[in-house]
Structure 1
Amino acid sequence: MRTYKHLFSPYKIGNVELNNRILMAPMETNMPTETGEMTHKMIKYYTERAKGGTGAIIIEFTCVERKHGFGSKNQLLLDDDSFIEGHKLLAEEIHKYGTKAFLQLHHAGRETRTSITGAQPVAPSPIPCKIMKETPKELSIEEIKELENKFITAAHRAYKAGYDGVELHAAHGYLLNNFLSPYSNKRKDQYGGSIENRARVIKNIVQGINRDVNQHFPVTVRFSVDEFVKEGLEIEESVLLAKCFEEAGAAAIHASTGIFESVDRNVEPMSFSEGWRTPLAKKIKEAVGIPVIGVGVIRDPDFADTLIEKDHVDFVAMGRSFLADAYWAQKAKEGKADSIIKCTSCCYCAERVTADLEVRCSINPVTGRESTLLPFNPLNKKLNIAVIGGGAAGMAAALNAKERGHAVTLFEASDKLGGLLDVASAGIHKEKWKWYLDYLLTRVDELNIEVHLNRKINDDDLSQMNFDEVILATGMIPKEDRILTDDSIRIINVVEAFRNKEEIRNKKVAVLGSRGAGLELSHYLAEHNNEVIAISRSGKREIGRNIDPINRRDILKHVKRLPIEFLTNTDVDKVENKKLFLTSDEKGTTSYDVDLIVSARGFQPNDPFHNKDYHRIGSCKEPRKILDAVYEGYVEISEIS
């Protein structure tokens, strides 16, 4: 059993000792009230992560000045003493489990809108963020000093609330980041120009907190050590900035990356490798004597432990990893790494909060629902439950039922469990979905769930079996594309294509459909020496539309350089004499020589059962995503228990 002795060694930030090197990174949840108050559901959300064994939790961005500083419609506020009590309740709950609590202090700067704050955004220079597209008001020196004092006063309130320290949010393009960066700071006074001047606002805040609050109350600085924009911060300057912060009295550096205009360097899509940011953190660590926190796609405890062992960083911060599994740290400590639900970087969480919705996770149905789904209700009666279908929905339901004490039998018609997870993980950069499949298989084995493979069950079979409840999780199957054809060109569906992808090489392939499955298949085939025509009935804007925005942008960026011809507002006319005939309003009827046609025009429910009393979950009701399947597998078991 791996013990991860480096990851679970104690270490200090300032004078505050943490019992391990694991931090929960700050992430927006949209759980506060619209007026910035702490809520019961937020406390439950963070408490669950404290129970899970993390060394410290850095509470999400908390606004120090409401008039201009809000970055979200539902963001914590700490610009008045009336907010202290709510924060005190949160800190007390976190401390019950031996976890330390830091609060991230924030001002949105130019990365907000008048529609959010009710006032014109402010920044060191009147340069708009290219995403928010509002020109900010340039701050006067007097206004800058007022804002410095607001950060210091907010830190004092955090101290009164019982937090162990604060973090200054100087990353991702927000106000403090605006001052640091030559990309957004064009001032000619003492707050602009040289590195020393651009660092001045943070140095003043750190020194003010040490002076006016408590010299033993640690202040960490999170900043984007590389903004990944032209004329933005790069690591060479960031090393010098980190030294400035250390000299000012900062207790640690939290090395992040990116701004709104380079969001994939902050909320990474699936294509980014584990720990890709940590070499940048290592360069900061080599230059300073205070602890350095590394962050960015850290998923595996072996990898995290190695980072500490090799002295690349002093702490690892994980955000989405704790959405996927609140008990990441505890499982690692107990040597149960295979039982960790690893974040797949599907970006569903980011998609929700960007839409002003509360945070959720596609593979952890409890995330964001801790106050309503936990704790489990007491088991009224042990039931004998049959689950039909061994995909994500079926396995999730079987696991939840078994964990609650029911007897469970899982039937799967094919020769292996997993459903369409093998297809989901087959595309380029999609292998992280296999992590979730591996987790499900591990848990099914650990809980000793009775599994019957190659067993196709029907209504008659179930009527002769003695089950108290039946859960149908038979999933979805590709829609049958009705094409007028003389069979001169082979036609297969997207599932068949992905499951036999190694056989498709050096061909000209027509892919019918360019949304999620069609775009991902086109990407894969083009990367493997095939020439691809992607044919869509809808317009160009619909290409990949049902993929989350961050991963969609990433895929579209990659396919631009590949031999893929996208034909939009186009449909199939017929297949005849080894030619594919297409019709469109723009071009009329055209023909193409292709070797293979793959239909990727959606899915349909697979529900061969007639009994309406069975519990149906996931895509056997209607085609949807893994997140729906996993959630329904959890809730359905809750309701029948």
Structure 2
Amino acid sequence: MPRTAADYPHLFTPGRIGTLEIDNRILKSPQSTATSNADGTVTARTVEHYKRLGQGGVGLVMMEYSFIDSDASKAIHNQLGNAHREHTPGLGWVVDEVHATGARVGLQIAHGGRQKFLGTAPIKSATDSSWSDVEGQYGVVPTPMTVDEIDAVVSAFGDAAARAHAARFDIVEVHAGHGYLITNFLSPHTNWRTDEYGGSFDNRARLLLRIVDDIRAKVPRDFPLSIRLSVTDYEPDGIPIEETVELCRRLEAHGVDVLHCSGGHHAGMEWEVSPWYQVRTPHRWGWEKIKDAVSIPVIASGSIVSPETAEEILASGSADFVSLGRPLLADPDWARKAKAGRVLEITPCIRCNDGCLHRGLNKGRSVGCSVNPSVAEEGRFPVTAAEESRRIAVIGGGPAGLHAAAVLHDRGHDVTLYEPGELGGLLNHAQGSTVKQDLAALARHLIHEVSRRDVRVVARAADAQTIAEGGFDAAVVATGAPDESPRFPIEGRLPVRTAAQVRVTDAPRGRVVIVGGGFQGCEVALRVSAAAATGEATTVTIVESNDGLLAGEEVFTDAERLPLFLDAAGVSVRCGHTVVGIDDEGVRVETAGGVETVPADAVVLALGRRRADSALADELEAAGVDVRVIGSAREPGRVFDAIHTAFFTARSL
């Protein structure tokens, strides 16, 4: 049954943080965009980004973390700055533009600590405990801060809060989580100081409480103050939840108005920016303990991707507000669409970390998004009416074809989509899977976007003759890429399927062997493990010829952390095993010790995909049709490539 606004009464109830009244309970979580100038001053891109978020209907837009001094607080390229009065005019510009949309706006202030992505000296932290990523790339180890430097940082936070007040922000937030400086002091994992800032909980909490006191002394009491913190850093020797709860009690006593609860740090990114294989709302257990201990509002944060989840959190009393980061990059109109009951129109975040981080900030670019090509480029790529309406055929109903058909329709073209199978293409393997629920949501969204438009869908394949005789002016080829063929014999009656053919409803059981340890093999192994019934004797083994899993150009959170989840799921991994054949007994592999058989009741081939041939495009071109090739039909890729090539191609026709 379709959702309506009445299904989300708590989401759209006004809320209050201190003296600040907010129209609804939805916040845009602060996320670095890297759209500022190199000196931290605001650019027009920064303004347009936050204005667009305000237009989307959220109650409070919390701007990204801003550095507070010119010493060691700046963490990332083109980071927003709030270290000098020269930063204030640009910040005020953003405030005025967001206020004009009807939303409230806040600013997060932060010190990078040991997580200085720039890798340049000085890196200052509680101790010389190093984040391996920075040390490994740049060789710079943190310098333990002196007491005088700590005093200066405390004052810098207070001054930055005062500048935020002067710029007329509605609220200021101190970043005390995610492995940045304040967390470096709070966590025993990174703090082994022996002075008054190390050792006991009281000492490790001293820096943050001093910062809060300094801010309270420098801004009016009715200027709301938020603290963003990790419920824990998820390190065995890290911050225990009992300490976080006690810290929150003390923060309330020191004049903090709201607690913004997240988790993890950069050495454990599967918690801080939870990927598709992580559970949704992973920090709920922690923020609920905090809520039980304080009387000020609690903001829930972390993989709250759907209105249903957000509403349930609020309705159950789990938290007072919900904070959305990546979901509002995927669709800045998330709140507006939810309020109107148009939930299937929301472009869902798929928690891939590809566009925002892997191909975005991690590459030294500005933030991006796999499913929203306009992030950080708001207003530059409008979908406007074409100069001339044309008859256009889209060949293929996977993610690229579906998105292209919708955009082409919106440009005023007469669109026919040809797909002989299920709409959704390779995304359909995700339907019903708990570990691929985000990708399944994207498939439902893309299909809905075509179904609600006047796009003709023809349930058959289209060849060059069909298109030429159909009177089409142009054709978009979105037929995907074929699976790589096995280079070994398959004999006997053992059931053998490809990864895309594995669905939850008929996932293989018993001894399942996955041939291939790239992304495709790892994700299907996790799906099969999750689909196995409780107590069912299903084992999953990956065989891979390389020395390790995920040896290709994989998203960093997949490459670094997915193997941990495979291990937790009980998936066996055999690397350095080259498959030489499949027979009734199982999968024959060659190793340094000779040939052996991995026993199997079912085999899944996850050999990747090969480049599609250009025969159809060549025939269309020879017939005089204006032809464009998109998605994996152009080059095997991920969702990012499908959506981006579809969007920009459709804009050009």
Do they superpose with TM above 0.5? yes
- Once structures 1 and 2 are overlaid, which stretch shifts more, 287-296 or 344-353? 344-353
Residue of structure 2 in register with 1:488 after alignment: 492
Q: Distance in 2 between matches of 1:44 and 1:506?
A: 54
| Separation (CA, whole Å) in 2 of partners of 1:499 and 1:182 | 44
Counterpart of 1:88 in structure 2 is 92
Q: Which amino acid aligns with 2:628?
A: H
Counterpart position of 1:79: 83
Q: What code does the residue aligned with 1:175 have?
A: L
- The answer as to 2:46 corresponding to 1:42 is yes
Output the TM-score relative to the length of structure 2.
0.90
Residue 121 of structure 1: aligned partner: 123
Give the 3 Å change call, closer, same or farther, for CA 437–160 of structure 1 in structure 2: same
* Residues 1:563 and 1:197: Cα distance change in structure 2 (over 3 Å): closer
Deviation at 1:576, TM superposition (A): 6.9
Q: Is the 8 A contact 1:522 1:534 kept in 2?
A: yes
- Give yes or no for the alignment of 1:339 onto 2:351: no
Corresponding residue of 1:184: 190
Measure, in 2, the Cα distance between the counterparts of 1:31 and 1:608. Answer: 42
Deviation at 1:281, TM superposition (A): 1.6
* One-letter amino acid of the counterpart of residue 621, structure 1: R
**Counterpart secondary structure, 1:105:** strand
Letter in 2 for 1:421: L
Look up the equivalent residue of 2:351 and give its one-letter code: S
* 1:462 alignment partner in structure 2: 467
- Give the corresponding residue for 1:256: 262
With over 3 angstroms needed to count, the CA separation of the structure-2 counterparts of 1:150 and 1:413, relative to structure 1, is: same
With over 3 angstroms needed to count, the CA separation of the structure-2 counterparts of 1:251 and 1:580, relative to structure 1, is: closer
2:392 aligned with 1:385: yes
Distance in 2 (alpha carbons) for counterparts of 1:591 and 1:231 = 42
Which deviates more from structure 2 when the two are superposed, residues 150-159 or residues 346-355? 346-355
CA apart distance, 1:478:
0.9
The match for 1:409 is 416
On the 8 A contact 1:14/1:216 being kept in 2, the answer is yes
* Distance verdict in 2 for CA 1:94–1:387, change over 3 Å: same
Partner of 1:363: 371
CA distance in 1, matches of 2:234, 2:337: 35
| Residue 522 of structure 1, aligned match among 514, 525, 529 | 525
Contact 2:429 2:500 in 1 (8 A): no
What RMSD, in angstroms, separates the aligned Cα atoms of the two structures? 2.6
Residue type at the aligned position of 1:224 = S
Percent identity over paired residues:
29
Secondary structure at 1:372 match in 2: coil
- 1:242 to 1:396, Cα distance in 2 relative to 1, 3 A: same
Contact 1:23 1:55 in 2 (8 A): yes
Distance 1:633 1:564 in 2: 36
Give structure 2 stretches of 5+ with no counterpart.
none
Give the aligned partner of residue 405 of structure 2: 398
- Aligned residue for 2:482, secondary structure, equals strand
Pick the aligned partner of 2:292 from 256, 273, 286. Answer: 286
Shift of 1:465: 1.0
The reply to whether residue 471 of structure 1 matches residue 479 of structure 2 is no
Match of 1:615 among 617, 628, 631: 628
Contact 1:196–1:244 (CA under 8 A) maintained in structure 2 = no
Q: Structure 1: which 5+ runs fail to align?
A: none
State the shift of 1:634 in Å. 0.8
CA distance in 2, matches of 1:289, 1:314: 11
Q: Paired residue for 1:637?
A: 650
Tell me the secondary structure at the aligned position of residue 96 of structure 2. helix
Q: Determine whether 1:316 maps to 2:322.
A: yes
Q: Call closer, same or farther: CA 1:67–1:401 in 2, change over 3 Å.
A: same
Of 244, 248, 260 in structure 2, the residue corresponding to residue 242 of structure 1 is 248
Cα distance change on mapping 1:203 and 1:525 into 2, 3 Å: closer
Q: Hey, what's the Cα distance between the residues in 2 that align with 1:372 and 1:279? A: 41
**Equivalent of residue 353 in structure 1, options 338, 361, 365:** 361
> 2:59: which partner in 1?
55
* Distance of 1:217 and 1:562 partners within structure 2: 47
> Which deviates further from its counterpart, 466-475 or 527-536?
527-536
Q: Is the 8 A contact 2:515 2:542 kept in 1?
A: yes
Residue 493 of structure 1 and its aligned partner are, at CA, apart by: 4.6
Judge which range, 192-201 or 5-14, deviates more: 192-201
1:168 lines up with 2:174 in the alignment = yes
Q: Distance in 2 between matches of 1:354 and 1:590?
A: 42
Q: For 1:476-555, what aligned pairs fall within 5 Å after superposition?
A: 476-484=481-489, 487-488=491-492, 490=494, 492-495=496-499, 497-499=501-503, 502=506, 504-507=508-511, 509=513, 511-525=514-528, 528=532, 529-540=537-548, 542-543=549-550, 545-555=552-562
Residue 624 of structure 1: aligned partner: 637
3-state DSSP class of the match of 1:66? coil
Post-superposition offset of 1:336: 1.2
1:183-236 deviation line (CA, Å, top 9, x unaligned): 333344443444444333333322322322333222111111222112322222
Aligned counterparts of 1:205 and 1:256: Cα–Cα separation in 2: 20
